[in-house]
Structure 1
Amino acid sequence: MAFVPFTGVDSLLAEHAAALPQPDQLCGPFAARLAVVGLTGRYRRAGPVPDVAAFARVAGSAVWPHDVPGARPPGAPPRTGQWPGLDLATGGRTAGTSADGAGRAVEQLSGGMLAAVPASGSWTPDRLRGLLNGLTGVPVLPVANLDTAWLVSSHASPESLDAYLATGDDSALPAAEWSVGHFVVVYGREDGPGGTLLALADSYPQLGEAGRHRQPLPRVAAALARDRRRTGGLLLVTAAGHRETAGVAVRAAGLEIEWWDNGTRAR
């Protein structure tokens, strides 16, 4: 059982460790920025990395200017220092970042070096697996927009996750510690005789090991599917020259190259 990283993991994880935690309500810009840093060294050569607030402005993110403790995992304190200058949401449920807004930020703030290819539709474990298999050899970092309630606990023990890899049975794994619409970066996979784990770079140090945790692929598929079709999806961040290749993989997996409605109005 070997871990297979996606492209740009060393840069991604170095930036991830330095950037934690995300500002409240800005998980989309946080994840988009990490993917951009992971896939291009341009920023490190050309000057400072645009901050999460810059990604939020380009994405059209909006914040609800009140504390919403349930929007953070247990133990995470509020962090609002990057809110000034951002649009205001009309309510807590409409705060955040639309999927297409996150994609726009990726393309603009990478200087056109990267493409943001959406994958949406009726998510199943087979379709998610097929998409990831189809992207083998493509420089890509998937950003998942999902419902955390469908995941397992980010603190599931290594022994229990290894047992899942061997058997494919995730029924004994503990439930997720929070429930919210969320963006995370998928940075690798681990295939076992019975199941596959996906490695997530999350946005709070209280989750997993300093914001990194492994999740069973079927749980990630369920978290993308949510309760209603086309409310979650994958934003495939790839080199601009691979836009069409990524699109072919999306269609071959039985999915659609269309943005989904995560409940936040596109701006």
Structure 2
Amino acid sequence: MGLLSAPEVRPFPGADRVLAAHEPPQPDLMCGPFAVRTALAALVDTRALPSLADLAHAAGSRTWPEDLPDARPDGAPSVPAPFADDLPVAGSADRSGTDAADLVAAVVTVTNRDVSAVPAQGGTPEGLLGLLARLGDLGPVGVVANLWTGRVGHFVVLWGLTDEEVPRVAVADSYPEVGDEGLPPACRLVGLHELHDALADRGLLVLVRTSDSPVATELVGAAGLSSEIWHG
């Protein structure tokens, strides 16, 4: 299913390639590498996309020896990562997964500095909308959002805005269980204020060509958001 199944969404440049590369479900605790790999498809030829294992290694993703069902939506089954035994084990369950700052570094590493991830955090819902609406100025762009689900931190991909008077944001999640009918698998529409609330103390990673990162940083600042990275 592709963009034609969601005609109400104005996709970000490169979103067709993002959705083509979006292959849920994610392996357990790998939402960060999963989201970044999916978003990178906007900027990197599919044949050159790094593997999920390569991204997890580059970002220092951490595993946990026991199943953590609270890290998944209700009803979502465990999907062990086939490369999990090659990753470090976290010191505690709440330290498993991947930090945003490590994903920023991993993007640079796996793309040989061709792509950079520009952080964007804080601001107001209106500022967030202003930033998302201006992303088309950058050409192809991948947008990763680090959300608080109410139970855990979770990385997803944003791929467009609706044409409604008060736009909603199109989200590509890593779990089919949270998808909306009529949208591509594991995708849903989220209200702007709901998204802004879920981003509190976290933020976006805007993936752009490294040559465009100064312009992306300027757009973040002009929208009233900070380009400082958060922890977690």
Q: TM-score, normalised by structure 2?
A: 0.89
For the 8 Å contact 2:178–2:188, the answer to whether it is kept is yes
Q: Is the 8 A contact 1:116 1:237 kept in 2?
A: yes
Question: Which residue identity lines up with residue 17 of structure 2 in the other structure?
Answer: S
- Once the two structures are superposed, the pairs formed by residues 129-208 of structure 1 within 5 Å of their partners are 129-139=129-139, 140-149=141-150, 179-193=151-165, 195-208=166-179
1:31 is matched with 35
The C-alpha deviation readout for 1:147-201, integer Å capped at 9, x for no partner, is 123xxxxxxxxxxxxxxxxxxxxxxxxxxxxx321000100011312x1110011
Aligned to 1:65, what secondary structure does the other structure show? coil
| Equivalent in the alignment of 2:87 | 86
Equivalent of 1:234 in 165, 190, 204: 204
Q: 1:2 Cα deviation (Å)? A: 4.4
Contact 1:31 1:143 in 2 (8 A): yes
Is the 2:13–2:136 contact (alpha carbons within 8 Å) kept by the matching residues of 1?
Answer: no
Letter paired with 1:188: G
Q: Which residue of 1 aligns with 2:3?
A: none
2:13, 2:103 → 1: CA distance?
19
What's the offset of the Cα at 1:240?
A: 1.5
Q: Distance in 1 between matches of 2:188 and 2:8?
A: 16
Query: SS at 1:64's partner residue?
Result: coil
C-alpha distance in 2 between matches for 1:69 and 1:223: 20
CA distance in 1, matches of 2:76, 2:51: 21
Equivalent residue, structure 1, for 2:193: 218
One-letter code of the match for 1:145? N
Match in the other structure for 1:176: none
Task: Tell me the equivalent position of 1:168.
Answer: none
Runs of 4+, deviation exceeding 4 Å: none
Aligned equivalents of 1:137, 1:131: Cα separation in 2: 10
State how far apart, in whole Å, the 2-side matches of 1:241 and 1:4 are: 25
Larger Rg: 1
CA distance in 1, matches of 2:12, 2:224: 22
Cα distance in 2 between the residues matched to 1:133 and 1:20: 26
CA contact (8 A) 2:107 2:115 kept: yes
* TM-score, reference length from structure 1: 0.78
Alpha-carbon contact 1:123-1:222 (below 8 Å) kept: no
Give the equivalent residue in structure 2 for 1:118.
119
Does the CA contact (< 8 Å) of 1:63 and 1:88 recur in 2? Answer: yes
Deviations 1:206-225 (A, max 9, x none): 12142111101111011001
Q: 1:104-115 alignment to 2 at 5 Å?
A: 104-115=105-116
Aligned AA (1:250): V
Counterparts of residues 40-51 of structure 1 (less than 5 Å) = 40-41=44-45, 43-44=46-47, 49-51=49-51
The answer for unaligned runs of 5 or more in structure 1 is 150-178, 226-230, 263-267
Q: Distance in 2 between matches of 1:143 and 1:107?
A: 15
SS of equivalent to 2:86: coil
Task: Tell me which amino acid in the other structure corresponds to 2:69.
Answer: P
Percent identical among aligned pairs is: 41
Give the 5 Å matches for 1:252-267.
252-262=222-232
Aligned equivalents of 2:85, 2:154: Cα separation in 1? 22
